Copies of this chain bind each other. A is one copy, B any other.
């Protein structure tokens, strides 16, 4: 198995253990596999391209990094899947987890998510009796997600 294959495996393993997102230093990785830094770029372009289902972001300069994000499903189908998973009520914790997952998979932008989160937050639902908040959250979240994929 070649070095590029080893690096790919290493990254895939990292990603699976870290919920589809990982951040690393190119130099560190190159040193770990005793290769030149540019080989990391080679692996990224040949195996972690958008067509392969990944987003790669990076930053130069001091404190620079490379971040790989896995985008599994097509955004719309992932959103629909999420909608179907929401029942008649949903608590704040679960809501946050669902939204985080959608962001991680690139299905929602951060701005959109922040807006939806604002609509579902405790501040927004404060005027409601506690026993109805989960129901309100479910309805709002579903309709927001359905609107987003329109």
Contact = CB atoms under 8 A, between A and B. Distances in A.
Interface residues of A, number: 35
A135 interface: yes
Contacts of A124: 136, 139-140, 142-144
A117 B25 CA distance: 35
A112 interface: yes
A84 interface: no
A121 interface: yes
B135 A121 contact: no
Given A1-B63, A2-B63, A62-B2, A143 B118 contact: yes
The main secondary structure of chain A at its interface with chain B is helix
Interface in A48-107: 62-63, 88-89
This chain: copies in complex: 2
Given A1-B63, A63-B1, A139 B118 contact: no
A115 B148 contact: yes
Interface stretch (A12-20, A27-35, A125-133): A125-133
B143 A123 contact: yes
B118 A115 contact: no
A16 to B, nearest CB: 13
